[in-house]
Structure 1
């Protein structure tokens, strides 16, 4: 195969090692991606009635369950690596997490927290959708550096060739930068939808917008996985099965949610939407209670909200023969 031009990557995937602890580029950008996800989700959710503190509380559960799901999915995908060595499942310092396992795990964690706190899971999903794609895109930068997810061989000008001795890629073999394709896909979806996010969020039932983000990404990811040299199970690559599941969830739940006719109201205290100075409609104020008066002042017993009527007998006046209002 003739390679007219390739992109050479000569970076050690391990940035720093202190004793048994290894700091990797993958780990750094994974953490940055998680932080970006939480920050963007909090910014969006505060415009749907939540407070940042509540979002950070929910994010804790999403991250914890998401990490468990990411590790569990990786173990299931690579069960041959752990056969006879189950203790290695706990060796997370050696790396090994699955992106889709993290996504589904985070959704489960968010659902558990929302049910516990009696919040709308679908509103939270709307807020988390763009943040999730932003975080996934940032996390892929670490994968580009370490070459962990092998692409299929190619002679295209943007093929990547990993030459570092410690690389997790395939040294000397130009391949498709499939994880870079995924990063671009995430960026395009966020760039296309985020400018219209609040407008769509007001017009669509809760949950639809979040499923659109994840469903469109999963649809694109399904086809991008053909450029990835992953193990094939039952005719498809492992990531394609997970992508198909996400697309299926979107196809099933979007019509169900669209049939809901209830308006999207504030979950908690309403806050300004920002930009055009528009605010969500606040809940109606409780009715004002009549003011209580001392029993010793019979002339003020007819006090009502906004003023009072006189008691003519108490003032020695003759009552008027005209009915009230005339």
Structure 2
């Protein structure tokens, strides 16, 4: 499949960008619908995205370049050629979180409430965004003998360099989609989840899935024997579990449904 969706003369719009934008629009829509339950204005969601999204793209690029420095050190101008690929979701998430800290303080919003509203939306956006990797033929795993269990259009796209490749992009997309559905069900159960636990659920669910699936990939950034994303995934899971048990001992209100 051509990674370019539409051409207008020299201007190209890629499927990757369309997947990211589609996920973003859906995420904003869903978060805006949930926000009033936590007494957060829908405009606050939109304002946050308008600030955080471009900075998150920048952070995702900086993260990728930092851990792939050998690819850029001899040609520094190539750092700015983001259209050639090279962004990392964890860099975007970390940047978005830093923006969120300042944003919620400025708007006088409880940060845990804001996180609980946006976390499920981030998960569904990631599920959609992973299909951008499908069109770019990236984020795949080792060679396999066949992919007969998949639809033909996926099998054809995963035939790379003379062999079928493990569609890790698909595994992560489905993992995030299932996590999104599960978290939406759980947050409607009365007196089940406390404030902040939707966010902690996201960190554990995404972290566990990313750690396992990242281990299957062959194109990941490496650090000290493991993939960088595996280190971060393990850290986020551990941090989330510590916060969960610590906050459960406190008088934390339940998530309002």
Under TM normalisation by the shorter chain, which class is it? 0.7 to 0.9
The offset of 1:30, in angstroms, is: 0.7
Match of 2:70 in 1: 80
Match of 1:16 in 2: 6
Report if aligned partners of 2:168, 2:216 keep a CA contact under 8 Å in 1: yes
Deviations 1:118-169 (A, max 9, x none): 2111111111111011000001112112212231111243476556xxx9x8
Structure 2, unpaired ranges of 5+: none
The yes-or-no answer on 1:190 pairing with 2:180 is: yes
Match of 2:161 in 1: 171
1:134 aligned to which of 110, 121, 124? 124
Match of 1:206 in 2: 195
The yes-or-no answer on 1:237 pairing with 2:227 is: yes
TM-score, structure 2 as length reference: 0.88
Q: Which moved more, 1:17-26 or 1:153-162?
A: 153-162
Match of 2:246 in 1: 256
Match of 1:222 in 2: 211
* CA distance in structure 2 between the aligned counterparts of 1:249 and 1:37, rounded to whole angstroms: 25
Change in CA separation of 1:233 and 1:117 when aligned onto 2, cut-off 3 Å: same
The size of the alignment, in residue pairs, is 252
Deviations 1:264-311 (A, max 9, x none): 598xxxxxx5xxxxxxxxxxxxxxxxxxxxxxxxxxxxxxxxxxxxxx
Report if aligned partners of 1:162, 1:171 keep a CA contact under 8 Å in 2: no
2:36 aligned to which of 46, 49, 54? 46
The yes-or-no answer on 1:150 pairing with 2:140 is: yes
Give RMSD over aligned pairs: 2.4
Structure 1, unpaired ranges of 5+: 1-10, 267-272, 274-326
Change in CA separation of 1:48 and 1:231 when aligned onto 2, cut-off 3 Å: closer
Match of 1:70 in 2: 60
Match of 2:83 in 1: 93
Give the secondary-structure state (helix, strand or coil) at the position aligned to 2:130. Answer: helix
* CA distance in structure 1 between the aligned counterparts of 2:234 and 2:252, rounded to whole angstroms: 30
Match of 1:105 in 2: 95
Deviations 1:155-214 (A, max 9, x none): 243476556xxx9x83322110000000110111112221231336x5533212111122
* CA distance in structure 2 between the aligned counterparts of 1:115 and 1:87, rounded to whole angstroms: 36
The offset of 1:262, in angstroms, is: 4.3
Q: Whose Rg is larger?
A: 1
